A and B are shown apart, each in its own frame.
Chain A
Amino acid sequence: MPFSSLSHIQDRLNHGETTAIEVAKLYLDRITEHNKTLNAFVHIDDEHVLAQAKASDTYRAEHGARALEGLPIAIKDIFCTQHGPTRCCSKILEGFEAPYDAHVITKLKEAGAVLVGKTNMDEFAMGSSNETSAFGACHNPWDTSRIPGGSSGGSASAVAAALTPAALGTDTGGSIRQPASLTGITGLKPTYGRVSRRGIIAFASSLDQAGPMTRNVKDAAMITSVISGHDAGDATSVADAPELDWLGACDKKDMKGLRIGVPKEYFVEGMDAEVRASVENALKQCEDLGAELIDISLPNTNLAVAAYYVIAPSEASANLSRYDSVRFGHRCKNPEDLLDMYTRSRDEGFGAEVKRRILTGAFALSSGYYDAYYLKAQQVRTLISQDFKDAFEKVDVIATPTSPITAFKLGEKTDDPLTMYLSDIYTIAVNLAGLPGLSQPCGFAEGLPVGLQWIAPAWREDVLLGAAAAYEAATDWHTKVPTGFGGES
């Protein structure tokens, strides 16, 4: 059962074979057992989890089951929750408890989900390895000396090791898809504007989007169908987004007539040979399933990382100004004056990577540099969007590797931020263009999971889910589990 999918647990609950309480206990026990090794959760409140599960069983008995009735879902520490701390894995939010739930948290609660606790992440979602967390690094269950990816590393690690059947993450430049890829699970970043950002601690407002991290494609669809939809409290949440048949989209068993674009810029030197082989093999399987592979070009791909590392830090530099120690969060001891309070509180509260990005952003926006950096980056962003639009004239969906490499060793890249930034080389363009993207497992390289990324036109998550579901139906990569976590059999 622990490595069951969310949909499987739902079946068992619906058939009265288990209860929400039993399910919750099972996962709480696993967290107790394995979190020491993985550090995937940074906050867990057993009693609160059990109380939710009990309430869910009661609700089911009295009113029947809602969309996610009794299903455990772990929450990245970036989502504000009324219950317990919300710290974005930063010391600056020491002691902070939000007096509100994020919109998506409300949606999950209303659907009957049991929220299992807060998962580890890179501080303020700034990182690709989960090593910048104020609560220490998180480990990859496939090899605990390695990183799980980031920034939603805790969610990825927890799902991969079945400490929870599903989790929520956020994705600003690949923070759902890259860790999903590195831990062998499925992660979906919806179209920008599909899911409300209200109550999600902002990193880069024009790029952030919440999404599910799950054991299979259908589970991702289940959760997204619940958390998506217009929210009048988020002006960037789109009011007239096309509704989709989320679950129906996952019924696809083949790829007949599907035109898959394969961008040549995504298969270049420097990528791990085994990763490349896995992805190319996956593409071949897609052809066997009836898809047509079409070579395409996304000519401005090489500019994406540079543009992203101007735009995201620029927005972040402003978004993180509110952590000034005046109203909440960490305040330094005995400040001499206002300036001292600001500088010491922020110096003590923010980690090195966050500081690096605030400085980068403030520099890019400063007078005299704005045109050369921020404005130029926005122009690149337009070009990248246009590349995708042009491509989608010819193809229905694009397939690429999710990450050029598999999970690396803890500490391997911490002294080299630029190389670290390149881990997101395949995922960043999707955020810049606001498109939906999905990563699913498609093989292993030296025993470590490899991810296949699907990219669809805006609002066409159904295309992503259909392609991914068909691939999943024909393969068994998503059923592989890491050793040492009670799933081998």
Chain B
Amino acid sequence: MSWEVVIGLEVHCQINTDTKAFCGCSTAFGAEPNTQTCPVCLGMPGQLPVLNALAVDKTILTGLAIDAQINLESKFDRKNYFYPDLPKGYQISQFTIPLVEHGHIDITTKGRGDRRIGITRIHMEEDAGKSMHEGLDAVSHIDLNRSGIPLMEIVSEPDMRSSDEAIAYLKNLHQLIRFLGVSGADMEKGQFRCDANISVRRPGEPFGTRTEMKNMNSFRFIKQAIDYEVMRQIEVIEDGGKVIQESRLWDSVKNESRSMRGKEEANDYRYFPEPDLPPLRVSQERVDAIKAGMPELPHQLRERFEKEFGLSAYDADVLTQTRELSNWYEALVAAHPADPKRCANWMANELLGRLKELNKDIEHSPVSPEAFGKLMDRMGDNTISGKIAKDVLDAMIESGKDADTIIEEKGLKQVTDTGSIDAMIQEILDANQGQVEAYRGGKDKLFGFFVGQVMKASKGKANPAVVNQRLKELLKG
């Protein structure tokens, strides 16, 4: 009998405000330890939290984008536990009434096709600081720069049935969050952290005992960790054992997880309402205003690109992976409105490929959409062929010069005038009498050979269409 996998995900996403959740300290990444702190985020006596309104707005925006309910009155609670990087000894979070509830994200996987993944809630909370033990002799160091940075915790329903679905969900969520501009969502900087609740069961049976997998900081590791945990649980059960409810830490070096038991045993967080913050009330007008400012979402953009520009589903998907890509593409189309499909093909296949080799994002492309548009223009008006255009693009990336300059300097202008093309053809025909006769005798396949010879002779500059047409004519004899 087969096993069914059940996965629910909790994503901690750093909200990209300039200042922290409850004080005015900077949230900039990478500063010297403990330089972005103040009495509030250090948990000094008598200090009080004041809620960052922008963080609230960004959480609401995220809620609206997943079609969720925005609670006009939500509440903050204290989650109590002792740890040196938690200065107050409690984390301000939302436990009983979160700001956002009941949303969803749609995913598509090869295995199960289109699926809707429920999102139970998004609540606001503050981050803890960072403890550092490595390389230190019998002491630990604490950096509280991160203490108090605003987070959204996005909690899904246990709706995913495979690691593929989990990754599809996370990628869609990640893309959405980046599109909304509510988070940098840089996984390496810990701005998008995922914990996975995993269990297995026989189809049709109630949920099995779940474990929580932590410390997975890339999509690849998340998939590996889920697959590992699923196999581990199945083995435990098939060997007659029982899965223990626990948190497990993923070790991406050893490719295995280990139990965190003992370290974090049966915590009772003693949640209770945060008396320093009144209930969070937001007006319907505020929600409406945020809704009105909602940017185009990835799926809307994809549909528009397909409809408005006639793109294939594949190209539309590639060009809407990030807001920066889609913006670049739209700027390109504005520069070369004649052929949006040509723009899409060339951007997706030629430009992105080259950028990938250079390890550059589209934001850092050495070629601007306007310059790239000029290159498209020169293809459109037959100044150069597609083959030459690739060389021109390489030169543009290398030299930073524009297409026209390169075409001019290197004399790459396409030859379209029939007189000179006829002359070139005649030379080739004269030099290859044997092949000419064979062709005329019925060996049609030799046509390609003549085209190749002519193009070679023109150093690629002859207009292929004209060459084709004239060759046919002249070969008739």
Q: Which residues in A have some Cβ–Cβ distance to B below 8 Å?
A: 79-80, 86, 88, 93, 96, 98-100, 102, 197-202, 204-206, 232-236, 314-315, 317-318, 320-322, 324, 326-328, 338, 342, 362, 365-367, 370, 374
CB distance from A27 to the nearest CB of B (A): 26
CB distance from A408 to the nearest CB of B (A): 31
- B350 within 8 Å of A (CB atoms): no
State whether A365 and B50 are in contact (beta carbons under 8 Å apart), knowing that A98-B45, A205-B275 are contacts in the complex: no
Least CB separation from A86: chain B residue? B45
Least CB separation from B89: chain A residue? A321
Q: In the complex, are the beta carbons of B43 and A322 less than 8 A apart?
A: yes
Contacts A199-B47, A236-B275, A374-B272 supplied; 10 other A-B pairs, CB < 8 Å = A99-B39, A232-B50, A236-B277, A314-B272, A318-B270, A327-B42, A327-B43, A365-B271, A365-B272, A366-B270
Report which of B43, B48, B80 forms a contact with A234, defined as CB distance below 8 A.
B48
Contact residues of B between 267 and 296, Cβ < 8 Å to A: 268, 270-272, 275-278
Q: In the complex, are the beta carbons of A321 and B47 less than 8 A apart?
A: no
Chain A residues near B84: list those with CB within 8 A.
Answer: 324, 326, 338
Least CB separation from A101: chain B residue? B46
Chain A residues near B268: list those with CB within 8 A.
Answer: 366-367
- B338 within 8 Å of A (CB atoms): no
If over half of B's interface residues share one DSSP class (helix, strand or loop), that class is named, otherwise mixed; here it is loop
- B236 within 8 Å of A (CB atoms): no
- State A205–B87 Cα separation when bound (angstroms): 17
Q: In the complex, are the beta carbons of A370 and B272 less than 8 A apart?
A: yes
Q: In the complex, are the beta carbons of B276 and A236 less than 8 A apart?
A: yes
- State A338–B277 Cα separation when bound (angstroms): 31
Chain A residues near B89: list those with CB within 8 A.
Answer: 318, 320-322, 324
Q: In the complex, are the beta carbons of B46 and A342 less than 8 A apart?
A: no
Report, as a range, how many residues of chain B touch the other chain: 20 to 34
State whether A362 and B277 are in contact (beta carbons under 8 Å apart), knowing that A199-B46, A201-B45 are contacts in the complex: no
- B142 within 8 Å of A (CB atoms): yes
Q: In the complex, are the beta carbons of B45 and A205 less than 8 A apart?
A: no
Contact residues of B between 25 and 79, Cβ < 8 Å to A: 39, 42-51, 78
Report which of A204, A235, A318 forms a contact with B78, defined as CB distance below 8 A.
A318
- State A88–B45 Cα separation when bound (angstroms): 10
- B228 within 8 Å of A (CB atoms): no
- State A469–B43 Cα separation when bound (angstroms): 41
CB distance from B134 to the nearest CB of A (A): 16
20 contacts between A and B (CB under 8 A): A79-B46, A80-B46, A86-B45, A96-B45, A98-B44, A98-B45, A198-B46, A202-B45, A206-B275, A235-B278, A314-B272, A315-B275, A317-B270, A318-B78, A318-B90, A322-B44, A324-B82, A326-B84, A365-B270, A367-B270
- B104 within 8 Å of A (CB atoms): no
- State A206–B271 Cα separation when bound (angstroms): 16
Chain A residues near B87: list those with CB within 8 A.
Answer: 322, 326-327
B83-124 interface code vs A (CB 8 A; 1 in, 0 out): 010011110000000000000000000000000000000000
Q: In the complex, are the beta carbons of A236 and B278 less than 8 A apart?
A: yes
Q: In the complex, are the beta carbons of A235 and B272 less than 8 A apart?
A: no
How many cross-chain pairs have Cβ atoms below 8 Å apart between A and B? 99
State whether A235 and B276 are in contact (beta carbons under 8 Å apart), knowing that A98-B45, A200-B46 are contacts in the complex: yes
CB distance from A372 to the nearest CB of B (A): 14
State whether A102 and B272 are in contact (beta carbons under 8 Å apart), knowing that A318-B80, A324-B84 are contacts in the complex: no
Chain A residues near B272: list those with CB within 8 A.
Answer: 314-315, 318, 365, 370, 374
Q: In the complex, are the beta carbons of B46 and A102 less than 8 A apart?
A: yes
CB distance from A71 to the nearest CB of B (A): 24
CB distance from A227 to the nearest CB of B (A): 15
Q: In the complex, are the beta carbons of B42 and A205 less than 8 A apart?
A: no
Least CB separation from A361: chain B residue? B270
Chain B residues near A80: list those with CB within 8 A.
Answer: 45-46
Q: In the complex, are the beta carbons of B51 and A235 less than 8 A apart?
A: yes
Report which of A79, A99, A233, A366 forms a contact with B50, defined as CB distance below 8 A.
A233
- State A204–B272 Cα separation when bound (angstroms): 13
Q: In the complex, are the beta carbons of B39 and A100 less than 8 A apart?
A: yes
- State A279–B78 Cα separation when bound (angstroms): 42
- State A365–B273 Cα separation when bound (angstroms): 11
Least CB separation from B268: chain A residue? A367
Chain A residues near B271: list those with CB within 8 A.
Answer: 365, 370
CB-CB nearest 6 A-B residue pairs: A321-B89, A205-B275, A365-B270, A206-B275, A199-B46, A322-B43
**Residue picked from A80, A199, A235, A366, most chain B C-beta under 10 Å:** A235
CB distance from B63 to the nearest CB of A (A): 22
CB distance from B36 to the nearest CB of A (A): 15
- State A197–B48 Cα separation when bound (angstroms): 8
- State A238–B39 Cα separation when bound (angstroms): 22
Contact residues of B between 372 and 406, Cβ < 8 Å to A: none
Chain B residues near A232: list those with CB within 8 A.
Answer: 50
Chain A residues near B43: list those with CB within 8 A.
Answer: 322, 327
- State A322–B277 Cα separation when bound (angstroms): 18
Chain B residues near A314: list those with CB within 8 A.
Answer: 272
Chain A residues near B48: list those with CB within 8 A.
Answer: 197-198, 233-236
State whether A326 and B44 are in contact (beta carbons under 8 Å apart), knowing that A318-B80, A365-B80 are contacts in the complex: no
- State A314–B44 Cα separation when bound (angstroms): 19
Q: In the complex, are the beta carbons of B82 and A321 less than 8 A apart?
A: yes
- State A88–B44 Cα separation when bound (angstroms): 13
Chain B residues near A197: list those with CB within 8 A.
Answer: 46, 48
- State A315–B276 Cα separation when bound (angstroms): 10
